[in-house]
């Protein structure tokens, strides 16, 4: 059963409204910190696992030069380090330092506490259901994006 056009259009509007609201909250929470919203996003992805910069750029949806500037800033702050990729000496792997792990934990704890405050009128069930729906939506969008990036599926018939 397909989603109706009106429902899809309303979902698009709500997603954009949610993006703006999250951005406003993130910017407000990042004021006065040494890492802005963009650097915090990079820090989060680097914190998942040591990765090539090109892989991080693709996941973040930014160009390699933009990511390189962010990584340089985080490196200057002592939050990440780079090393040559042992499988390809031309590439670099980026990982968190101990200070980066501490900083990422602080950021995530602060964001969690902030969101708890904003959602104090919500029930645990509503919050858990929303998390599940958002997780499913994100996964559907990621899968669709991967399918589009892979190109059309061609079938060949053999006689």
**50, 93 contact by CB (below 8 A):** yes
pTM: 0.77
Domain membership of residue 63 (yes or no) is yes
Domain membership of residue 74 (yes or no) is yes
Domain membership of residue 98 (yes or no) is yes
pLDDT digits (tens, 9 = 90+) for 44-86: 999 999 999 888 998 888 898 999 999 999 999 999 999 998 9
Domain membership of residue 2 (yes or no) is no
Domain membership of residue 152 (yes or no) is no
Q: Provide the percentage of residues in the chain whose pLDDT is more than 70.
A: 92
Domain span at 94: 31-119
The pLDDT, as a whole number, for residue 151 is 63
Domain membership of residue 24 (yes or no) is no
Domain total in the chain? 1
Which CATH number do you get for residue 52? 1.10.10.10
pLDDT digits (tens, 9 = 90+) for 78-122: 999 999 989 888 888 999 999 999 999 998 898 899 899 999 999
CA-CA-CA-CA torsion for 56, 59, 60, 61, nearest 10 degrees? 120
pLDDT band at 152 (very low <50, low <70, confident <90, very high): low
């Amino acid at each position: 059963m397909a989603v109706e056009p009106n429902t899809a259009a309303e979902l698009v509007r709500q997603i954009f409204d949610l993006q703006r609201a999250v951005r406003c909250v993130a910017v407000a929470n990042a004021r006065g910190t040494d890492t802005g919203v963009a650097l915090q996003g990079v820090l989060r992805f680097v914190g998942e696992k040591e990765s090539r910069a090109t892989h991080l750029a693709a996941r973040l949806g930014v160009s390699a030069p933009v990511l390189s500037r962010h990584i340089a800033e985080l490196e200057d702050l002592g939050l990440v380090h780079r090393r040559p990729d042992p499988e390809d000496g031309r590439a670099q792997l980026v990982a968190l330092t101990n200070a980066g792990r501490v900083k990422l934990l602080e950021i995530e704890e602060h964001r969690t506490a902030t969101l708890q405050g904003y959602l104090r009128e919500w029930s645990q069930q509503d919050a858990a259901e929303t998390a599940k729906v958002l997780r499913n939506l994100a996964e559907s969008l990621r899968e669709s994006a991967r399918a589009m990036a892979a190109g059309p599926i061609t079938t060949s018939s053999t006689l």
